[in-house]
Chains A and B, each alone.
Chain A
Amino acid sequence: MKNFTYAAPRNVADAVRLAGQPDARFIAGGTDLLNLMKDGAQSHGAIIDINGLALGDIVQRNDVIRIGALARMSDVAAHPAVRRSLPVVSEALLNSASPQVRNMAAVGGNVLQRTRCGYFRDSGTTCNKKAPGSGCPALEGENRGHAILGGSDHCIAVHPSDLAVALLAVDAVVLTDRRRIPFADFHVVPGTTPDQETVLGHGELITGFEIPVTPLAARSRYLKLRDRATFEFAVVAVAAALNMRGDTVRDVRLTFGGVATKPWRSPEAEEALRGKPLTTTTITEAGRALVRGAVTRDHNAFKVDLVQRALDGLLRDLGGVR
């Protein structure tokens, strides 16, 4: 880690101005940023501490829940309005990291956390995300944890956030100091520029998230599969929101973690269910639609099967299908 300057602005305008410096970075909980800097995966000359900004509130106004960017993961997970109206968000958070990390980490930082791809976090290894053009050792390497959807020949790293998968499922909007960005447009696939993970500009500050309260979001759930019972990132995760009219699926959101290079929504899988009854056949068809474009590598082919199983299990639970 190299030496850096530190500033703790008191208002958004100052924070954004300070963050305009070429190699500046915001710090919230620091639970990811500091690891990245210590591991030599990232290096910054100026650290702008935003914890002094008044961005920690969680409020419901009419049919919108607004979560400040500095709200801690634990506080959001426990908030009554979130638990009542956005259960998938609460569940995704409670399935993330550990209580200690959740007490430190802010939701704004969470959706910007970077991949756990081992090559990316190793300063002694080349990686296109870290040093564009240097190559991607994961393509032919140890890729059991890597993406089967949304990858490119340049990068197949999974986006690690659970919260982001849930926010995508409930049609969240990202609020920044200068604009509103629908969550679906926020993260981008790697393509030829895997170093770019979101549409956020340099020095642009996330101030919060707005989430509409809908019947769809109210019936939502998160299923996370991983290699140990807790304190681990997803091998495969599914967020589902379901709105039924009688036996028919009126509307549905299906988003996925652990399998894709960004929080992944599958309109194809949703389409396989919308307007149809929830049965073994339609659920199976949704799973097939999800993985139709999957590209597997040496060690991650099992995810094609596992993600369909996870979708199947979650939809049966949520829809009460035997």
Chain B
Amino acid sequence: MTVGRPVERVDGRAKVTGGARYTADRTLPGMLYSYLVMGTIARGRVTAVDTAAARAVPGVVEVFTHENAPRLTSDQHFMPLQGTQIHYNGQIVAITVATTLEQAQEAAELVRVTYAPETPKAVIADALTEVYLPANQEVIVGDPTAGLAAAEVTVTQNYSSPPHHHNPIEPHATVAQWDGDRLTVHETSQGVVNAQRTFATTFGIPQTNVRVLAPYLGGGFGGKSPVWPHSLLNAAIARQLGRPAKMVLARSQMYSIVSHRAEFRQQVTLGAKRDGTLTALVHHSTQQLSRTSENMYSHSISSRMLYACPNIHTRQQGVRLDVPTSRFMRSPQMASHFGLETALDELSYQLGIDPVELRRRNYTDVNPTTGERFSSRFLLDCYKLGADAFGWSRRNPKPGSTRDGHEFVGWGMATEAHDHNANPSSAMVRMAADGTVLSQTATQDIGTGTYTVFTQVVADALGVPLNQVKVELADTNFPPAALSAGSGTIASVTGAVNAAALAVRTAVVQLAVSNPASPLHGVSVERIITQHGYLFSPDRSRRESYRAVMARHGAPVQNTSSMTNARGYSTGAVFVEVRVDPRYGRVRVTRGVGAYDAGRVMNHKTARSQVIGGFTWGIGNALMEHTVLDRRTARVVNPNLSTYLLAVNADVPEIDAIFVNKPDPVSTALGARGFGETPITGVPAAIGNAIFHATGRRIRDLPFTQDKLLY
């Protein structure tokens, strides 16, 4: 068995040697380069666009503005270049197209746009009177008012967090090529099947006429889930000009047209008995919406699914601002989770109950909103494993009680939790006449390790070595499979891959036992053992290699299977140590332990990588990360990685990742659940809770920069 083992990434070598070709690496004969011109006001109208100077740049083929751009509609997004209206700063106002990238860029700088600007609203604070409750955004369980009345202790606090941008290391890129009314798109996509549908709908052609490929992705974090308008425009340009066209976004352009995590404010009210049991949980939030969409992406799922509380009220309000539409960003539930997990820490201090114990006392096996039992939940094990590994029992709860030189030392914890998607998926597995195995499915590896895990699944199902298996992904010519978002890839697609591999195994075994030329002739199919590339009789006295069986058969054996999995909820517990230097308000995270229930762990290394990545991002989220919007212009002031800060190595301690590793009985993915988004959700609260423990200072406004800690 290789499943579960820390198998090295099968695509690692290609990635570090440059052999892996990413979307922006695609170059086609006769290809044109499109480059975007971004608007500089957040609200108002374009009154004129002067393209004369841009057109005069050698090599420029065309300059598109709202006056001459291809007419397109989108059922998902506001489509720019279709009129003069401006809805957010950094909106696309023109596209230059040239025979080289440099020419297109030079031309883009020369496009002169004139506006009739209006005053925008950029932040929630500027539109507090316009907060409203969109349809279907309120959930009430039990009687929260009565629950609060029955409480012996209550906590009510406000928390806030700034907007964030996804910032995958690989910029968004798209390369479109038409052949008559057939379209091929190399697209930085977390979902090639969805992308295929979007392109087909937009251009009014059959889905089968569109092929989308994304074999390698340098991260997406949700920002590459939909097809954005710029990709549709690029494809339309390629069609209109009759040549392939490529568009790669500059880093700064990724701060306005490919979404973000919304600015978020929340109020959490907890009512509890003296023994810590919750009597009411009221969670009201407000998130930024845009002028063109009221879709919400930061959901208060934790408040509805995590703790035993008979009376729950979540209310997700919105406020429309002159900013781009937000979207899912890794662990969209973490914004509200931060409030809940901080409020619980505050409650623990009011009650004088250890924060782990408080959570234990409110543990539930049952979804408190629906009353349904979870198929499996080992959160109590996570608390225990994490606390033991961290040494939590040695904690003196008194804030400010531990000092080391100049620094205060604090320990904090939080529950981690996120639900995951499961989408119907199919996969093909084929054993060639030479015994080698190919598996194809139109899901993606967005950097998380899908190639590696599916190689393990196929190898185990067939009983062949890993190096006999090749996996190909993210091409709509392959059997359709899930979007790589919502922690859903492994959970959705593993079952289909495994089923197809098992079907191939059965077929090959059948070939052997039914053929008098095989040493296994006459053994019943069910009793054959497969291992190391061989088929064995039950007592292992006789054997034949897959290769030999296939050579005799002389033709490939193939199966395509489909599978649907259940959605699920993966939880865990994270423990951190911080050191706070009160002289400078400087916080360092010096220890981190996480323990998780993710069902079966498919690959310890790639699962641990999710923990490291999540924890790292969580540190950034807690201590530094935020998009700075100019309040008067609603324009991003830090649209680059030198001023949009993410945690770097020196900010991150050694992280200990522990897994309960018990298969979820209802999961068709060999017992695995989706996991990618769980191990970040609790980190900001755990760090804030540790800062409180270190110093007695509670900061409720992310990020916890040093100016908030001077005292």
Residues on A lying within 8 angstroms of B by beta carbon are: 1-3, 35, 38-40, 116, 118-119, 121-125, 137, 140-142, 144, 225, 227-233, 235, 302, 305-306, 309-310, 312-313
Query: How far is A232 from B645 in the complex, measured between Cα atoms in Å?
Result: 8
Give the residues in chain B near A1, CB-CB below 8 Å: 102, 105-106, 109
* Residues on the A chain within 8 Å of B620, using CB: 228
B645–A228 touching, CB < 8 Å: yes
Q: How many whole Å from B559's CB to the nearest CB in chain A?
A: 49
Please give 6 more A-B residue pairs, beta carbons under 8 A apart, in addition to A227-B624, A229-B648: A3-B106, A39-B252, A121-B640, A141-B637, A227-B645, A306-B585
In the complex, B633 has a CB within 8 A of chain A: yes
Q: Which of B309-317, B429-437, B703-711 contacts A (4 or more CB under 8 A)?
A: B703-711
**In the complex, are the beta carbons of B106 and A124 less than 8 A apart?**
no
B 651-679 contacts with A by CB, 8 A = 651
In the complex, B639 has a CB within 8 A of chain A: yes
Once bound together, how far apart are the Cα atoms of A39 and B39, in whole Å?
Answer: 15
With known contacts A39-B252, A230-B648, A122–B639 Cβ distance under 8 A? yes
Inter-chain CA distance A75–B246, complex, in Å, is: 41
Within the assembled complex, what's the spacing in Å between the Cα atoms of A225 and B587?
A: 11
Residue in B39, B252, B588, B623 whose Cβ sees the most chain A Cβ within 10 Å? B252
**Count, chain B residues at interface, CB 8 A:** 41
Contact B630 A137 (CB under 8 A): yes
- Most chain-A CB neighbours within 10 Å: which of B90, B620, B640? B640
Closest CB-CB distance, B589 to chain A, in whole Å?
A: 10
Q: How many angstroms between the C-alpha atoms of A231 and B644 in the bound complex?
A: 12
Given the known interface contacts A2-B109, A118-B638, A122-B639, the answer about A228 and B648 at a Cβ–Cβ threshold of 8 Å is yes
Q: Which of B623, B642, B649 contacts A116 (CB 8 A)?
A: B642
Q: Choose among B105, B623, B632, B710 the residue that contacts A227 (Cβ–Cβ < 8 A).
A: B623
Chain B binding surface, main DSSP class: loop
Most chain B CB neighbours (cut-off 10 Å) among A40, A225, A229, A305: A229
Known: A227-B705, A305-B710. A124 touches B624 (CB 8 A): no
Binary per-residue interface labels of chain B (24-39) against chain A in the complex, 1 for a CB within 8 Å, 0 otherwise: 0000000000000011
Cβ–Cβ < 8 Å partners of A40 in chain B: 109
**B710 is contacted by which of A38, A141, A230, A306 (Cβ under 8 Å)?**
A306
Is the CB of B16 closer than 8 A to any CB of chain A? no
**Contact A122-B583, Cβ < 8 Å, known A116-B643, A142-B630, A227-B645:** no
Given the known inter-chain contacts A118-B638, A225-B706, A229-B650, please indicate yes or no for A124 contacting B630, CB distance below 8 A. Answer: no
CB pair A306 B584 closer than 8 Å: yes
Give Cα distance in the complex from A141 to B649, angstroms: 31
Q: Are A230 and B637 in contact (CB under 8 A)?
A: no
- Min distance, Cβ B298 to any Cβ of chain A, angstroms: 23
- Determine how close the nearest CB of chain A comes to the CB of B14; give it in whole angstroms: 23
Decide yes or no: A228 and B624 within 8 Å by CB, A305-B710, A306-B584 being known contacts. Answer: yes
Chain B residues contacting A310 (CB-CB under 8 Å) are 584
| A228 surroundings in chain B (CB, below 8 A) | 620, 623-624, 645, 647-648, 650-651
Nearest CB in chain A: distance from B117 CB, A: 13
Say yes or no: A235 contacts B706, CB within 8 Å. yes
Q: Does any Cβ of A come within 8 Å of B600's Cβ? A: no
Q: Is the Cβ of A309 less than 8 Å from the Cβ of B584?
A: yes
A229-B648, A232-B645 known; A123 and B640 CB under 8 Å? no
Interface residues of B (CB under 8 A from A): 38-40, 90, 102, 105-106, 109, 250, 252, 583-586, 588, 620, 623-624, 628-633, 635, 637-640, 642-643, 645, 647-651, 705-707, 710
A141 to B632: give the CA distance in the assembly, Å: 8
Interchain CA distance A144-B620 in the complex, whole Å = 18
A141-B632, A313-B584 known; A125 and B648 CB under 8 Å? no
Please state if B633 and A137 are interface contacts (CB–CB under 8 Å). yes
Taking the nearest CB of chain B, how far is it from the CB of A256, in angstroms?
15
Enumerate the 9 nearest inter-chain pairs by beta-carbon distance, A residue then B residue, closest first.
A118-B637, A229-B650, A302-B707, A124-B40, A230-B650, A229-B651, A227-B624, A142-B637, A2-B106
CA A86 – CA B519 in complex, angstroms? 81
Q: Across the interface, which residues of B come within 8 angstroms of A123, CB to CB?
A: 109
List of B residues within 8 angstroms of A225 by Cβ? 584, 586, 706
Distance of B98 from chain A, by nearest CB (Å):
12
Residue on A nearest B711 in the bound complex, by CB: A305
Q: Chain A residues near B38 (CB, 8 Å)?
A: 124
Q: Is the CB of B105 within 8 A of A309?
A: no
Query: How far does the alpha carbon of A38 sit from the alpha carbon of B642 in the complex, in Å?
Result: 14
Bound Cα distance from A236 to B705, whole angstroms: 13
| Closest Cβ–Cβ distance, residue B42 to chain A (whole Å) | 11
Find chain A residues with CB under 8 A from B639 CB.
118, 122
User: Can you identify 6 A-B contacts, CB atoms within 8 angstroms?
Assistant: A119-B637, A142-B630, A227-B705, A228-B624, A228-B647, A309-B584
Contact A141 B630 (CB under 8 A): yes
Complex Cα–Cα for A119 and B643 (A) = 12
**Please, how many angstroms separate the alpha-carbon atoms of A235 and B705 in the complex?**
11
Q: Which residues of B contact A142 (CB under 8 A)?
A: 628-631, 637
Report the bound CA distance from A263 to B622 in whole Å: 31
Chain A's closest residue to B644 (CB) is A118
Among A39, A122, A305, which residue has its beta carbon within 8 angstroms of that of B637?
Answer: A122
Min Cβ gap A33→B in Å is 14
CA distance A316 to B697 in the complex (A): 26
Q: In the complex, what distance in Å separates the CA atom of A228 from the CA atom of B105?
A: 33
- Bound together, the chains give a CA A306 to CA B585 distance in angstroms of 9
Q: For the complex, give the distance between the alpha carbons of A90 and B180 in Å.
A: 63
Minimal Cβ-Cβ distance residue in B for A121: B640
Q: Does B706 lie within 8 Å of A306, measured CB to CB?
A: yes
- CB atoms of B632 and A140 under 8 A apart: yes
User: What is the CA–CA distance of A3 and B59 in the complex, to the nearest angstrom?
Assistant: 12
Q: Chain B contacts of A140 at CB under 8 A? A: 632
Chain A residues with CB under 8 A of B707: 144, 302, 306
Shortest B232–chain A CB gap in Å is 24
- In the bound assembly, the distance between CA atoms of A215 and B638 in angstroms comes to 42
What's the nearest-Cβ distance from chain A to residue B692, in Å? 20
A230–B630 CA distance with the chains assembled, in angstroms:
26
User: Are A312 and B583 in contact, with the CB atoms below 8 A?
Assistant: yes
Residues of A with C-beta under 8 A to B647: 228
- Say yes or no: A229 contacts B588, CB within 8 Å: yes
A305 closest partner in B (C-beta)? B710
A230 vs B650: C-alpha distance when bound (angstroms):
6
Cβ contacts under 8 Å, A118 to chain B:
628, 637-639, 643
- Within the complex, what minimum Cβ distance (angstroms) separates A97 from chain B? 9
Docked CA distance A116–B628 (Å): 14
Of the candidates A2, A124, A231, the one whose C-beta lies within 8 Å of that of B648 is A231
Do A309 and B252 touch (CB < 8 A)? no
- A232: nearest chain-B partner, CB-CB: B645
Taken together as a complex, chains A and B put the C-alpha atoms of A39 and B252 apart, in Å, by 9
What is the chain B residue whose CB lies nearest that of A298? Answer: B631
Write out the residue numbers on chain A whose beta carbons fall within 8 Å of the beta carbon of B710: 302, 305-306, 309
A229 / chain B contacts, CB cutoff of 8 Å: 588, 648, 650-651
| Chain A residues whose CB sits within 8 angstroms of the CB of B252 once the complex forms | 39, 122
**Cβ contacts under 8 Å, B649 to chain A:** 230
Q: Are A313 and B109 in contact (CB under 8 A)?
A: no
State A309–B705 Cα separation when bound (angstroms). 16
With A and B bound together, what is the CA distance between A306 and B709 in angstroms? Answer: 10
A124 to B102 CA separation, bound complex (whole angstroms): 19
Closest B residue by C-beta to A300? B707
Give the nearest-CB partner of B703 in chain A: A227
* B581 nearest CB neighbor, chain A only: A313
Residues of A within 8 A of B650 (CB): 228-231
Residues of A within 8 A of B635 (CB): 122, 124-125
**A35: chain B residues within 8 A (beta carbon):** 642
Chain A hits for B640, CB < 8 A: 39, 121
Q: How far is the CB of B187 from chain A (nearest CB, A)?
A: 24
> B705: which A residues are within 8 A, CB to CB?
227
Q: CA A305 – CA B585 in complex, angstroms?
A: 11
Most chain A beta-carbon contacts within 10 A, residue among B628, B637, B638, B643: B637
Assembly CA distance A310 to B583 (angstroms): 8
